[in-house]
Amino acid sequence: MLESYQKQYDAIVIGCGHAGVEACLSLARMGHKTLAVTLSLDAISFMACNPSIGGTAKGHLVREIDALGGQMGLAADNNLLQIRMLNMGKGAAVQSLRGQADKTLYHHYMKNLLETQENLDILQGEVSRILTQNGKVTGIETTLGQTFYCDAIVVATGVYLNANIIIGDNVTKTGPNGFARATKLTDSLISLDIPTRRFKTGTPARVDKNSINFDIMEIQRGDDDIYPFSFMTQGYPINKDVCYLTYTTQKTKDIIMANIDRSPLYNGSIHSTGPRYCPSIEDKVMRFADKERHQIFIEPESSLTNEMYVQGMSSSLPFDVQIEMYKSVIGLEKVKIMRFAYAIEYDCIDSLCLTPYLMVKHIKGLFLAGQLNGSSGYEEAAAQGLVAGINASLFLKNKDPMILGRDSSYIGVLIDDLVTKGTNEPYRMMTARAEHRLLLRQENADKRLTPKGREVGLVDDNRWNRFNDKMQEFDRIKSLLDKLIPPKEFKSFFEKAGESVPNNALSYKDMLKRTNINADMLINEFDELKNLNKRCFEEIATEIKYEGYLSKQISVINDINKLESKILPENLDYSLINGLRLEARQKLNKIKPLNLAQASRISGVSPADITVLLVYLSKK
């Protein structure tokens, strides 16, 4: 028996990747004695693929994690190499932060947080079995024969379950980056009637910085005047490094085509499903045969290493082909590969077995999060880990779970897609998946979610006071924007902006509705606006610009909420309801939606089926 650890915990988290870290931190911070078990202490929050945080839609997730009281945003801000705002030429709804993080420092930052967190013990080991009794979790067993008991478990094993690393015809039975894989837990999940499947992802080569000709590449600098990931970070992020843009060539294409029969993706060696939106370079060449070249980004991994990440050239081709292929890229003619690209296959579960609060439907107290649920990406994992940790805490306190709706957050969209629609490939968050994205802008994540984080008990006093100060500043700015300005005071300003000058007085709010006028222009023109909080002012200006569209979205949401209020009984047997089509009965019995709104989003359930359910509920 391991004497240095107690045998009874409130909760146990299996895995300490991006999902597991958020889960165990939230549980411990919400007052629960928690044990985190990880295969390797050296892999805590390890970035096995690109050491970047954020990106299109993913930046929204990071800001939402932060708004709820999670850790990823603060960790990114504290370990940034570069940060940029994507889609600046497009509307505010799709603009997203993306930061290149220091891979080594990020890991140490998170590991130190876990080591110093009150209520949290960390143990390196492999979990072999999840213990249950009468449909409820009771604990875990490890491969060393240890037993730990608890009332709630969060499983966040990432891509480590029965993982295989594939480079050409060489298959290594390890997890990412050579870390040990988990070989026992899949069988335990299967024994608990949790459906599993096999997915695939991959990563490009890491190359020696000193072997790259950056002079013939296009430099990609960060942005110096944008807000950070965390609402708690003061000031503006500091860019410490740069990235580079280059391209593949016709020679790259020829090399891949000549060796495509040696690609595990195309010779039948890989049978699992890979990510559609992050294809390998050989997949891109085959799928887009008419394209002459592909963008490649060269990005730093850490300030403590010369390794550079070759974004856009994920591959599982044999090593000799990789050497030839990478050297055909502009600027990489003399490149030295330090780590070869690889594909990784792993076990994951069918997310339709989960509730909207990420608990397994038929096992009380068992929560699943991250890539185990079929998603891809650090941000998607961290978001699920945070929600699973919060709901495990609420479960332990016998409180109602926190369910984030599609109208509240990108996190809500992510989880609803997984548990209602399911996924047949690694799921990636995108702005197009969020139908209410104009309301779910990344800058207003705190307004949407910080009160919710406070309600469940994760947002601390410091964050809550900061949030309330911001809301007071919002009220002050809105009051000032209603002030009427006579035409003589803005006549020349309007003429320079190309706007027609009215005869009547206008408020600053009215001015912001004009096409050619923005917040920065008003701040520079009128002295009384110069001392306002610029971030708050810009957020309010966006709301004013899109006021009409936002009103329409809110109206649609109100209609949907009427269906949200129509609760469906948990034990309802849909096969007994006359009028439902056979496919609808099967899908409804499998997913067991919480309400009519969720039922309406299930593939195979038609509007006519929803009408039948409405009639059924009215009779009951």
pLDDT of residue 59: 97
Of the candidate ranges 71-80, 117-126, 182-191, 560-569, the one whose mean pLDDT is the lowest: 560-569
pLDDT of residue 95: 94
Pairing of strands 127-133, 206-208: unpaired
Taking CA 300 as the corner, what is the angle to CA 69 and CA 245, rounded to the nearest 5 degrees?
110
Band (1; pLDDT cuts 50, 70, 90): very low
Residue 230 in 3-state DSSP?
Answer: coil
d(CA 488, CA 480): 19
Of 565 and 42, the one with more pLDDT? 42
pLDDT of residue 274: 78
- Give backbone dihedrals phi and psi of 381, rounded to 5 degrees, phi first: -65, -50
Structure tokens at 11: 């909760």
d(CA 231, CA 536): 12
The answer on pLDDT for 620 being more than 80 is no
The answer on pLDDT for 2 being more than 80 is no
As its CATH architecture, domain 565-619 has Orthogonal Bundle (1.10)
Nearest to 126 by CA among 163, 170, 165: 163
Pick the CATH number of 206-344 from 2.40.30.260, 2.60.120.200, 3.20.20.210, 2.40.30.10: 2.40.30.260
As its CATH architecture, domain 461-548 has Orthogonal Bundle (1.10)
User: Which positions ≥6 away from 465 have C-beta within 8 Å?
Assistant: none
What tens digit of pLDDT does each residue of 402-452 get? Answer: 999 999 999 999 999 999 999 999 999 999 999 999 999 999 999 999 999
d(CA 308, CA 126): 31
The answer on pLDDT for 558 being more than 60 is yes
pTM: 0.94
Mean pLDDT of the chain: 95
How far apart are the two ends of the chain, measured CA to CA in Å?
55
In DSSP terms, which residues pair with 310 in a beta bridge? Answer: 298
Nearest to 153 by CA among 167, 133, 168: 133
Torsion sign across C-alpha atoms 403, 404, 406, 407: positive
What tens digit of pLDDT does each residue of 15-47 get? Answer: 999 999 999 999 999 999 999 999 999 999 999
What tens digit of pLDDT does each residue of 489-512 get? Answer: 999 999 999 999 999 999 999 999
The answer on pLDDT for 110 being more than 80 is yes
* Domain parsing of the chain, residue ranges: 206-344, 461-548, 565-619
| H and E: helices and strands count for the chain | 20, 23
Amino acid at 502: P
- Cα–Cα separations (whole angstroms), residue 338 to 322, 341, 482: 12, 10, 60
d(CA 223, CA 238): 9
Of the candidate ranges 88-97, 204-213, 270-279, 597-606, the one whose mean pLDDT is the lowest: 270-279
Residue 220 in 3-state DSSP?
Answer: strand
Amino acid at 466: R
What tens digit of pLDDT does each residue of 286-297 get? Answer: 988 889 999 999
DSSP-assigned states of every residue in 15-76: --SHHHHHHHHHHHHTT--EEEEES-GGGTT--SS--EEE-TTHHHHHHHHHHHT-SHHHHH
Nearest to 382 by CA among 22, 11, 15: 22
Band (156; pLDDT cuts 50, 70, 90): very high
Structure tokens at 238: 């500091």
Residue 188 in 3-state DSSP?
Answer: helix
What tens digit of pLDDT does each residue of 157-190 get? Answer: 999 999 999 999 999 999 999 999 999 999 999 9
Of the candidate ranges 99-113, 254-268, 382-396, the one whose mean pLDDT is the lowest: 254-268
- Give backbone dihedrals phi and psi of 178, rounded to 5 degrees, phi first: 85, 0
Query: What one-character DSSP code corresponds to residue 208?
Result: E
User: Which positions ≥6 away from 336 have C-beta within 8 Å?
Assistant: 207, 208, 210, 211
pLDDT of residue 3: 53
Q: Are 397 and 183 in contact (CB under 8 A)?
A: no
pLDDT of residue 447: 97
Band (560; pLDDT cuts 50, 70, 90): confident
DSSP-assigned states of every residue in 296-365: EEEEE--TT--EEEEET----S-HHHHHHHHTTSTT-TT--EEE--EEEEEEEE-GGGB-TTSBBTTSBT
Q: What percent of the chain shows pLDDT beyond 70?
A: 99
Q: Are 411 and 61 in contact (CB under 8 A)?
A: yes
